[in-house]
A and B are shown apart, each in its own frame.
Chain A
Amino acid sequence: MNHIRTLIEKEWAEIFKNRMVLMSFILMPLLFTGIPLVMLGTMGTTSISGSAVESSLPAGAMALCPGLSGIECLQITVLSQFMVFFMLLPMILPAMVAAYSIVGEKTTRSLEPLLATPITTIELLVGKALSAALPAIAATWLSYGIFIVGTFILKISPAVQAYVFNPIWLVGILALGTVLAIISVIFAIFVSSQVNDPRAAEQISSVLVLPVMLLFVGQMIGKVVISLEFMLTTTAICLLLAMGLFYLGIRVFDRENILTKWK
């Protein structure tokens, strides 16, 4: 545990001394929180009549919001897209840091002295993964918290607030988002240990957001209905996937190859 803690301490010191990386950890959650709040606020103060809003909604959208006004239904329709972004955030934020973690140390030649210490491969990978994932998870949870507080400040209707604060999104953001962050960092570290160029690692690692983007698109076109069962099942599957990826990451982490292969 001490080695993992030391590695996290070192990684965080390096990450947060890099202004650009620090800015990405602050700016992206701010945007993901600010944009939906601004939209909610704007929709809440619109002078357009309820019937006009209802007619502008996609076909069948009103059927998904029984007993709600047109404005409320519009807010929920928009929000459902942004809630998926909160699940995307913990995947995007740490991917760049994790993708750099091994290959970056290789290119700056600091990996060899690190691997020469008694640190085990499991400690190294867990330390690298947690140091990238924990700030992203914390930033996501904080953003979600700020978003909920924002809906109260904006005096959003209780029905819409109930949608924001319902178990589906609690599971989706707090549990599935966390697991997705872990998958994202393990995958990025796995890629980072196999390539020789930090840019290649970042590019390859970014493909992992595609499934979540598909979920976003599927939901937008009405092909995917996000329910509590869906969230719980997806979380369980992703947890298994994370465990499998971690096992694979340990198996393919070859100190010798990493140190000696440059092509």
Chain B
Amino acid sequence: MIVCNGLTKVFKIGPKHKEDFAAVENLSLEIPQGQVFGFLGPNGAGKTTTVRMLTALIRPTRGTAKVNGYELGREDTQIRRSVGILTESPGMYERLSAEMNLSIFAKLYDVPDVPAAVGKYLNMLGLWERRHDPVGSFSKGMRQKLAIARALIHEPQTLFLDEPTTGLDPEAAKTIRDFIEELKTEGRTIFMTTHNLDEADKLCDIVGIFKQKLIAIDTPAALRSQLFGRTVVFHLGSVNPEWAVMLTAIEGVRKVETLENKLVISLEDPEKQNPALIRKLVELGADLQFVGEVRHSLEQIYLETLHTPKGENA
């Protein structure tokens, strides 16, 4: 579980380190145990800085946070013990074997049975056959898998994944995504930063859209609903432009657009409004062929949220 209150990080920048730059401003959020949280934002938004603060690598300038029940700044060693981190770059020891890389970290995390833990994750991530090879000879995907194994070697309650699939080919990215799916079932809290919005949509229970400040946070479905409502498309044999005006009068209908032989209708609650709409269209003599719900992509939500001034979204 992660709870932050007003977490802020200000860096000193400029030629004489006298200018203040707020990388993270007043971040407050709560991620319940076992949830996958997607932290979305453009490059330089402060995502990595947030991960570094929450993993006790850097100190916040202001604000408080609790990670797995441990207070940031006072119980940093316990935080480090209870979290695993996949850093933006795998940062493995290239001359050493995969097995030795994991074994070193298992020992640093005081894992009781090091060979068992190392064997478990090498097998799980399909690296057992290459365990004696130097990591320098590994592909990018294999290094990333090994870095995930390193983050998990001490069975942390919370896992921080900083852009886990960035730069990987589609197959390697899918393997990593499938593995994260598996981790979801184990009840760990996962804090994931990503640019891949499809990935976030598939994996995350909650997403936060962030650019120095937290702009929006909710489930992907709730964000869709807040921004766009829910949209239903009625495919008709032909469309009479007057129908759009008539349908707008029905309670719960937000907006009706005509698009070729289709009516695109934003609704508050399609389960309630669809029967009335269908009845009305049949009554008007429409040749109803097909009805389907439009699902806005997380990319649309992300772009809409980032580019809409705060306060205009809701």
Contact = CB atoms under 8 A, between A and B. Distances in A.
Pick the 10 closest A-B CB pairs, nearest first: A109-B91, A110-B91, A6-B107, A109-B89, A117-B108, A256-B58, A17-B95, A10-B104, A112-B87, A116-B85
Contacts of B108: 3, 6-7, 114, 117-119
A120 interface: yes
A229 interface: no
A109 B147 CA distance: 12
Contacts of B94: 108
A222 B59 CA distance: 55
Contacts of B83: 116
A2 B150 CA distance: 18
Contacts of A114: 108
A108 B96 CA distance: 13
A14 B96 contact: yes
B104 A108 contact: no
Given A6-B104, A118-B81, A259 B91 contact: no
Interface string A100-121: 0000000011111111111110
B55 A116 contact: yes
Contacts of A108: 91, 94
Interface residues of B, number: 32
B94 to A, nearest CB: 7
Contact of A17 (B52, B96, B150): B96
B109 A2 contact: no
Given A118-B81, A255-B58, A259-B57, 11 more contacts: A3-B108, A7-B108, A10-B96, A14-B96, A17-B96, A109-B89, A111-B91, A112-B57, A115-B57, A116-B55, A117-B108
A144 B206 CA distance: 66
Contacts of A113: 85, 87, 91, 105, 147, 150-151
B93 A112 contact: no
B136 to A, nearest CB: 10
B96 A256 contact: no
Nearest to B100: A13
B92 interface: yes
Interface of A: 2-3, 6-7, 9-10, 13-14, 17-18, 108-120, 255-256, 259-260
B296 to A, nearest CB: 36
Contact of A9 (B56, B81, B87, B104): B104
A3 B11 CA distance: 31
A10 B77 CA distance: 21
A111 B52 CA distance: 13
A30 B304 CA distance: 69
A7 B104 CA distance: 8
Contacts of B81: 118
Interface in B63-122: 77, 80-81, 83, 85, 87, 89-96, 100, 104-105, 107-110
